[in-house]
Structure 1
Amino acid sequence: MALSATLHHFAVQLADVDRGVYEDLELRVARHPSETLEYMLTRILAYCLQYEEGIVFSDGGISATDEPAVQIRDLTGRTTAWIEVGAPDADRIHRGSKLAGRAAVYTHRDPAKVLANYAGKKIHNAASIPLYSFDRAFIDEAAALIDRRNTATLSITEGVVYLDLNGTSLRTDITEQPLA
């Protein structure tokens, strides 16, 4: 018998001071049985940190092979931003960068190891694709706080993430570096 996805609800007050984005978001996030809480949290952070009109989680979630974890579509349905999570392979990022013109990777893993996977690989426009990473202790602590229903306040100021998740306050720097 196949396991089904677990649905998590997140009521997020987003205040991205760096980009001037202030929104109240109601997110319903399906977590695939093989998806870790850390990956799901990173996916949610990527969604919030890239938030703009047209942003969506992929239809297939972690099992989608032809879509990124998060993408931004224009009014015609064309993908304008390809946002991967974790440690996607170079071919996915290459294809996404060519298709959308803008790509980014968010990881909850060791960024040096993620970058090492891309060394010598062909990735379209790799020098302009940012790899964003978070402190591992922050990800572990926040993931342990996730319930089926969650309330969060997420503030981003000068590259620092302040997260209040279900009554617990956490903070981390966002580290950004190019893929090449």
Structure 2
Amino acid sequence: MATGAMIHTFAVQLADVDRGVYEELSLRVARHPSETDVFMLTRLLAYCLEFEEGIVFTDGIAATDEPAVLVKDLTGRVTAWIEVGAPDAARLHFGSKLADRTTIYTHRDPAKLLAQWAGKTIHNADAVILHSFDPGFLDDAAAALERRNTMTISVTERQIYLELNGTHLSSAVHDHAIQP
């Protein structure tokens, strides 16, 4: 018998000083049985760090033709294609052609991903940014994860300060350019 998705709820207070975004969010995040807690948290952080009007979670791992997070304008046009993890070059190429902006948040070694994409065709590759966090940050955050969560995220000067269920963590948000 197949196991269904586990639902996690998050009461998030977001203060992104860098972008001037201050929001209180109530999010229900489904974690697919094949998805790790670290991947799910990376997806959640991508949503929060990219938060703007029109942002949505997609079906995640179950979606083959959409990224983990998507932003659409009021007409339904895709304005941001936000991948999580280690998407292949063809998927980045497709997303970059479809959306105004493409970005990736990863919980993996960014150097390995950049090497994987080197020499591959990715539309507008010089505008695609890979974001990563300090080693151990996401693992430590995953250890504090519960089914019902309270989270505070503060971002200033590309430094993220995270409080998750009483656990305080911080990390730089590292930006890596993809070389065409």
TM-score interval, smaller chain: over 0.9
Distance in 2, Cα, partners of 1:127 & 1:37? 31
- Counting aligned pairs with the same residue, the percent is 66
Q: What does 1:2-151 align with in structure 2 at a 5 Å threshold?
A: 2-58=2-58, 60-151=59-150
Distance in 2, Cα, partners of 1:36 & 1:98? 29
Q: What is the count of residue pairs matched by the alignment?
A: 179
* Structure 1 outlier segments of 4+, above 2 Å: none
Distance in 1, Cα, partners of 2:162 & 2:27? 16
TM-score (norm 2): 0.98
Matching residue's letter, 2:151: A
User: CA offset at residue 76 of structure 1?
Assistant: 1.4
TM-score (norm 1): 0.98
User: CA offset at residue 61 of structure 1?
Assistant: 1.8
Q: Note the residue ranges of structure 1 that are not aligned, 5 or more in a row.
A: none
Deviations 1:69-99 (A, max 9, x none): 0010101112110000000001111000100
Matching residue's letter, 2:53: E
User: CA offset at residue 33 of structure 1?
Assistant: 0.2
Distance in 2, Cα, partners of 1:106 & 1:131? 6
Q: CA RMSD in A?
A: 0.6
Q: Note the residue ranges of structure 2 that are not aligned, 5 or more in a row.
A: none
Matching residue's letter, 2:148: R
Distance in 2, Cα, partners of 1:30 & 1:36? 11
